[in-house]
Amino acid sequence: MDDIEKRLAARLSALRAERGWSLDELAKRSSVSRASLSRIENGDVSPTASVLGKLCVAFGVTLSRLMQMVEDDFAPLVARAAQEIWTDPETGYRRRLVSPGSKNLAGEVLEVEIDPGQRIEYAGTPRDGMEHHLVMLEGELSMQIDGKSYRLRAGDCLRYQLRGASVFQTPKNTGARYHLFIVE
């Protein structure tokens, strides 16, 4: 387990403790099993994007904000070589934190890569109406946002306010790479 995964495990444990929740309470609120939560908090396994999404909804924080909580202090210049990358162990989804969020900034930028034939689902949003701007760089991506379907190709931009469940799906023959701008 690398350093960012250790910090993520510690932060998830701290968020639960800050709320005074037992593992059973968090399991009930997130629909993630108590055993899985224990293994994640102990650093025995890395959580998948789907599990992180469920935990973020339960804690009322965005995935980006959660990742910011485990990042080092704010720096004006973020060289590509220094940008943290998190990989979902289940789907291979890769999330590069291009421009980390900060308590002094209103937004952040992610670069996301999804392999061919993957489907990533999020049951809800940690904050109703969160503003997203998704700019496709390569490949193809089908999305369902708040019950509406979209098909994006390189150069397309999808702007939306997230209010519910979302699905990201790549076709079997091509993946997707995009920038996601999130305004908090």
Whether residue 75 lies inside any domain: the answer is no
Q: What is the mean pLDDT of residues 12-35?
A: 92
Mean pLDDT for all residues in the chain: 89
pLDDT score recorded for residue 142 = 98
- Binned at pLDDT 50, 70 and 90, residue 25 comes out as very high
Task: Single out the residue in 69, 94, 116 at which a domain terminates.
Answer: 69
How many angstroms separate the CA atoms of 150 and 41, rounded? 36
What confidence score (pLDDT) does residue 140 get? 98
Q: Indicate whether 167 and 116 sit together in one domain.
A: yes
Number of domains in the chain: 2
This model's pTM is above 0.75: no
First to last CA, the chain: 30
Given 18, 45, 69, which residue is the final one in a domain? Answer: 69
Contact 92, 115 (CB under 8 A): yes
Residues 166 and 107 in one domain: yes
Count CB atoms within 10 A of the CB of residue 64.
22
Distance between CA atoms of residues 95 and 84, nearest Å: 8
pLDDT at 71: 62
Which residues 6+ apart lie within 8 Å of 181 measured at CB? 107, 108, 109, 132, 133, 134, 135
Instruction: Provide the domain limits for residue 150.
Output: 80-183
Is there a domain that residue 74 lies in? no
Residues 40 and 123 in one domain: no
Give residue 92's pLDDT: 87
Same domain for 21 and 108, yes or no, is no
Beta strands in the chain (DSSP E): 85-87, 94-99, 107-114, 119-122, 130-145, 148-153, 157-162, 166-169, 176-183
Q: Are residues 22 and 93 in the same domain?
A: no
pLDDT in tens, 59-113: 988 887 787 777 655 668 888 998 889 899 888 899 998 988 766 677 889 999 9
35 & 7 share domain:
yes
Residue-wise over 40-59: b if at least 16 C-beta within 10 A, else e?
Answer: bbeeeebbbbbbbbbbbbbb
What tens digit of pLDDT does each residue of 35-55 get? 999 999 998 988 888 899 899
Q: Are residues 85 and 164 in the same domain?
A: yes
Q: Does residue 101 share a domain with residue 173? A: yes
- Are 120 and 156 in a shared domain? yes
**Is the same domain home to 168 and 135?**
yes
Chain Cα centroid distance, residue 37:
17
Whether residue 161 contacts residue 144, with contact meaning beta carbons closer than 8 Å, is answered with no
Please check whether residue 169 lies inside any domain of the structure: yes
